[in-house]
Amino acid sequence: MTSQNSDASQAVTVADVVGAMEQAYPPHLAEDWDKVGLICGDPSATVRHVAFALDCTDAVVDRAIADGAQMLIVHHPLLLRGVNSVAANTPKGRVIHKLLTNGIALFSAHTNADSARPGVNDKLAELLGVHPGRPLRPIEEPLDKWGFTVPLTDAAAVKSAVFAAGAGNVGEYEQACYEFPVKGQFAPTAQANPHIGTAGGGLETVEELRVEFIAPRRLREKVRTALLQAHPYEVVAYDVAESHTGPADQGIGRVGELDSSMTLREFAARVAERLPVTRWGVRAAGDPEAMIRTVAVASGAGDSFLTQIAKMDVDCFVTSDLRHHPVDEHLRMGGCPVIDTAHWASEFPWCEQAAAVVQKKVHVATTVIDIRTDPWTVHTGGTQDEVHG
């Protein structure tokens, strides 16, 4: 599936595409163990065509080469687990060499794309007819509370600088701050280089503005640098205090209402119909006639959430890679029905979302590589709709 942006007059670089992706899927949302971002490639290289896939396999890379892509964006990091060599005769090294030889940069957005809004889990929920409400596991971002004083005549310029560094964003509001007039005083020594008054000239008083705002803690040094560079004083009076956490509207998973109530049997059939087809298929555990309205979803492997799900008022949990014992214990403890999908199927729809993100921000052609990288190739036997007893 290929889409061409109509305006290709401006050269686009790998760094431009990375910027678009990281704006939509901020790296700070990634889990501590994750490895997201640019994996290989020159940030200054020109990009005309970006390909998207869930996994960076040999077949996916071959398709990207055939499609003439200069960049490949995937969900699962190729080098998530440590390797000692990327020699061309190793599995991952072979892929890296093939990418570099053909001038293709590789980028990954993984758990940051899971937690972002909109992200992987929003796409999964919407496909299944579930309103993507609150996160299953919210991420509350630590915030700093800042304060500084500045002469009235310089206040606008300094505020603009810290806001440009990412400060003052509260929900859907930007450049948010409190300010009130104060009177400052200082006596420059003979060695000072004062913005107001003269060195050794005695006590000075000045009408100033006290400005207070919040900023993400991860931006502390960036905000500090902006403040010090823009402020006219030789020595800037400011303070930073660790504050409360920000809104928890981002995070892994989603919980929301199904567009219409239906039985587990019917909902499992909908999941199978709306997700990409795999050999794995779709399995459900629980009473097939149980009524489903409130649903929790978690793309990818999600049985670690079963303990939490058991304490929640939800009717069904949709995830992937479920194992026998965790599901059995969940049901024995009175937990809600669960639906198990193929890992690839629950996450592949995100590729279209990511392609739309890039095409909206930069002028490149985009291709979603529809190769099914789910590893399962045979599914045989089994029975249909057996009631859990």
* Element counts in the chain: helices (H) and strands (E): 12, 19
What residues form DSSP beta bridges with 314?
none
CA proximity to 2, closest of 57, 51, 60 = 51
Q: Is 343 annotated as ligand-binding? A: yes
Bridge-based pairing of strands 12-13 and 46-47 is antiparallel
Q: Is 363 annotated as ligand-binding? A: no
H-assigned helices in the chain: 14-24, 58-66, 91-101, 111-115, 120-127, 155-164, 220-230, 264-274, 306-310, 324-332, 343-347, 350-361
Q: Is 16 annotated as ligand-binding? A: no
Lookup result for tokens 């003269």: 198
For residue 132, say if its preceding peptide bond is cis, omega within 30 degrees of 0.
Answer: no
Q: Is 75 annotated as ligand-binding? A: yes
- Residue partners of 73: CB distance under 8 A and separation at least 6: 17, 21, 50, 51, 52, 53, 107, 108, 109, 354, 358
Name the 3-class secondary structure at 194. coil
- Residue partners of 372: CB distance under 8 A and separation at least 6: 276, 278, 344
CA proximity to 361, closest of 91, 126, 22, 131 = 22
Lookup result for tokens 């298929």: 281
CA dihedral (372, 374, 378, 383) positive or negative: negative
Q: Is 303 annotated as ligand-binding? A: no
135 neighbors 254 (Cβ within 8 angstroms): yes
- Which residues does the annotation place in the binding site for a divalent metal cation? 75-76, 114, 343, 347
Annotated binding site: 75-76, 114, 343, 347
